[in-house]
């Protein structure tokens, strides 16, 4: 079978999909007569789906699927398999690394060393995490693990997620978004990107943050309105530090004033990538694709309605 990936894949992916065929990479995000399409990062919209006449199944790496037009794929009878919970732990660990780096102002401290400005080291003060409040926006698989890891550091965890009920939130207190913004010393985003969350963090909402809060986004860049609202919040002191694994524009314009601010720490939408993640995700996808091609419904099927259309 012809298997196309929209970005480079690790050796473990080629090994996992080997029984189905060899993977070729097409970085333009075009199906190129693919029968199996592995979508990594590149948007795959309705027009591309409609032109993919040979496409039988889409494999979306990771838990997010906002870069695939699910409705268009379903109409075309193209099942989508994904990996909803596989990368939750490494993503949570990566998020906590960002929280620690931003709260302890590691970029600024590193700059002091590299610029030989040793005498200024006492001017940079980090945040004490023990007893601090972390506000988790989105209490899914990743958000729950972030809250647990932060509680292990001695932090108090609160969360906002309209889809979660108090009796299913565990030891995490559910609050309104406004209450979270007012109370949290660290705000960390783990919500899905949809019509409700797109641009949710705008100037008005950030103005409600506790003064000096640390802001972390490891969800989707477009949950934040744009780079300017974060830069302004840093400039007026509403935020003291920002850590981003995802960006309003990807790749980001590094000349923007947000990225030249030493209080901003960035990673390239990859903080959760680990060897174990790669192995588990691609084996999960390969198994799901194999089941779809055999006429079965895998547990990691995103749009089961597509099977009825295809049938």
Known active-site residue 247 = no
Cis preceding linkage at 251, omega within 30: yes
Three-state secondary-structure class, residue 295? coil
- Conformation bin of residue 267: beta by default, left when phi > 0, alpha when psi is -120 to 50: beta
Known active-site residue 287 = no
Domain definitions of the chain by residue range: 3-86+274-310, 88-266
List, edge to edge, every strand of the sheet that includes 264-266: 173-174, 156-160, 133-137, 186-189, 213-217, 239-244, 264-266
Known active-site residue 160 = no
Quick check: do 3-86+274-310 and 88-266 share a fold? yes
CA dihedral 49, 194, 249, 281 (to 10 degrees): -70
List, edge to edge, every strand of the sheet that includes 57-60: 23-25, 3-5, 36-39, 57-60, 80-82
In this prediction, residue 42 carries a pLDDT of 83
Q: How do residues 135-173 score in pLDDT, each as one tens digit?
A: 999 999 999 999 999 999 999 999 999 999 999 999 999
Q: Active site residue: 40, 107, 256, 269, which one?
A: 269
Topology of 88-266 in CATH?
Rossmann fold (3.40.50)
Question: For every one of its 311 residues, what pLDDT tens digit does the chain have, with 9 covering 90 and above?
Answer: 999 999 999 999 999 999 999 999 987 756 768 999 999 988 899 999 999 999 999 999 977 888 899 999 999 999 999 998 888 999 999 999 999 999 999 999 999 999 999 999 999 999 999 999 999 999 999 999 999 999 999 999 999 999 999 999 999 999 999 999 999 999 999 999 999 999 999 999 999 999 999 999 999 999 999 999 999 999 999 999 999 999 999 999 999 999 999 999 999 999 999 999 999 999 999 999 999 999 999 999 999 999 987 65
Q: 186 forms bridges with which residues in the sheet?
A: 134, 214
Spatial separation of the C-alpha atoms in residues 298 and 176, rounded to whole Å: 36
Q: Active site residue: 56, 105, 190, 220, which one?
A: 220
Topology of 3-86+274-310 in CATH?
Rossmann fold (3.40.50)
Spatial separation of the C-alpha atoms in residues 49 and 51, rounded to whole Å: 5
Q: How do residues 257-284 score in pLDDT, each as one tens digit?
A: 999 999 999 999 999 999 999 999 999 9
Q: Active site residue: 8, 24, 50, 250, which one?
A: 250
């Amino acid at each position: 079978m012809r298997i196309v990936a929209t970005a480079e894949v690790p050796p473990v992916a080629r090994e996992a999909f080997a029984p189905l065929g060899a993977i070729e990479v097409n970085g333009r995000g075009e199906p190129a007569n693919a029968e199996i399409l592995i979508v990594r990062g590149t948007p795959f919209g309705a027009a591309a789906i409609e032109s993919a006449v040979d496409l039988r199944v889409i494999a979306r790496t990771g838990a997010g699927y906002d870069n695939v037009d699910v409705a268009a794929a379903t109409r075309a009878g193209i099942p989508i398999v994904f990996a909803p919970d596989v990368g939750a732990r490494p993503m949570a660990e990566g998020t906590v690394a960002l929280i620690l780096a931003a709260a302890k102002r590691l970029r600024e401290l590193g700059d002091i060393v590299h610029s030989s400005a040793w005498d200024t080291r006492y001017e940079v003060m980090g945040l004490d995490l023990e007893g601090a409040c972390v506000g988790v926006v989105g209490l899914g698989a990743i958000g729950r693990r972030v809250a647990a890891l932060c509680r292990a550091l001695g932090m108090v965890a609160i969360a906002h997620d309209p889809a979660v009920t108090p009796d299913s939130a565990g030891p995490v207190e559910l609050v309104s978004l406004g209450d979270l913004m007012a109370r949290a010393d660290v705000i960390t985003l783990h919500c899905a990107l949809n019509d409700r969350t797109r641009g949710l963090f705008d100037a008005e909402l950030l103005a409600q943050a506790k003064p000096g809060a640390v802001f972390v986004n490891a969800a989707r860049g477009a949950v934040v309105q744009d780079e300017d609202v974060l830069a302004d919040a840093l400039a007026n002191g509403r935020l003291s530090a920002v850590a981003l694994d995802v960006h309003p524009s990807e790749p980001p314009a590094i000349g923007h004033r947000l990225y030249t601010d030493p209080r901003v720490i960035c990673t390239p939408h990859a903080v959760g990538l680990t060897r174990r993640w790669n192995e588990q995700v691609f084996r999960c996808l390969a198994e799901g694709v194999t089941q779809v091609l055999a006429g079965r419904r895998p547990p990691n099927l995103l749009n089961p309605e597509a099977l009825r259309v295809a049938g």
